[in-house]
Amino acid sequence: MALLIILITCFMIILATSQPCQTPDDFVAATSPGHIIIGGLFAIHEKMLSSEDYPRRPQIQKCVGFEISVFLQTLAMIHSIEMINNSTLLSGVKLGYEIYDTCTEVTVAMAATLRFLSKFNCSKETVELKCDYSSYMPRVKAVIGSGYSEITMAVSRMLNLQLMPQVSYESTAEILSDKIRFPSFLRTVPSDFHQIKAMAHLIQKSGWNWIGIITTDDDYGRLALNTFIIQAEANNVCIAFKEVLPAFLSDNTIEVRINQILEKIILEAQVNVIVVFLRQFHVFDLFNKAIEMNINKMWIASDNWSTATKITTIPNVKNIGKVVGFTFRRGNISSFHSFLQNLHLLPSDSNKLLHEYAMHLSACTYVKDTDLSQCIFNHSQRTLVYKANTAIERSFFMRNDFLRDYAEPGLIHSIQLAVFALGYAIRDLCQARDCQKPNAFQPWELLGVLKNVTFTDGGNSFHFDAHGDLNTGYDVVLWKEINGHMTVTKMAEYDLQNDVFIIPDQETKNEFRNLK
d(CA 250, CA 54): 10
Strands 142-144 and 166-168: parallel
51 pLDDT more than 70: no
- Rounded to an integer, what is the distance from CA 226 to the centroid of its chain? 22
Sign of CA pseudo-dihedral 478, 481, 486, 489: negative
Q: Taking a C-beta distance cutoff of 8 angstroms, is the pair 126, 6 a contact?
A: yes
259 pLDDT more than 70: yes
Q: Which pLDDT tens digit goes with each residue over 103-125?
A: 888 988 999 999 999 888 765 67
Average pLDDT, the chain: 85
Q: What's the pLDDT band for 278 if we cut at 50, 70, 90?
A: very high
pTM above 0.75, yes or no: yes
Among 143, 93, 232, smallest CA distance to 450 is for 143
d(CA 327, CA 322): 16
Q: What is the pLDDT at residue 254?
A: 86
Mean pLDDT, range 170-176, rounded to an integer: 93
Peptide bond into 146 cis (omega under 30): yes
d(CA 350, CA 63): 19
Among 239, 241, 240, 219, smallest CA distance to 229 is for 239
Q: What's the pLDDT band for 249 if we cut at 50, 70, 90?
A: low
Q: What's the pLDDT band for 367 if we cut at 50, 70, 90?
A: confident
Which is more confidently placed, 342 or 323? 323
Mean pLDDT, range 120-139, rounded to an integer: 80
Give the chain's largest Cα–Cα span.
Answer: 71
Q: How far is CA 92 from CA 77, 418, 441, 493, in A?
A: 20, 21, 16, 40
Mean pLDDT, range 387-396, rounded to an integer: 45
Among 2, 5, 10, smallest CA distance to 128 is for 5
Q: What is the pLDDT at residue 185?
A: 97
- Classified as helix, coil or strand, 464 is coil
Q: Taking a C-beta distance cutoff of 8 angstroms, is the pair 284, 254 a contact?
A: no
220 pLDDT more than 80: yes
Q: What is the pLDDT at residue 207?
A: 87
Among 241, 236, 237, 242, smallest CA distance to 224 is for 242
Q: Taking a C-beta distance cutoff of 8 angstroms, is the pair 36, 141 a contact?
A: yes
Question: How many C-beta atoms surround the C-beta of residue 500 within 10 A?
Answer: 13
Q: What's the pLDDT band for 390 if we cut at 50, 70, 90?
A: very low
d(CA 97, CA 6): 25
Q: What is the pLDDT at residue 124?
A: 65
Q: Taking a C-beta distance cutoff of 8 angstroms, is the pair 360, 66 a contact?
A: yes
187 pLDDT more than 60: yes
Q: Which pLDDT tens digit goes with each residue over 148-159?
A: 999 999 999 999
437 pLDDT more than 60: yes
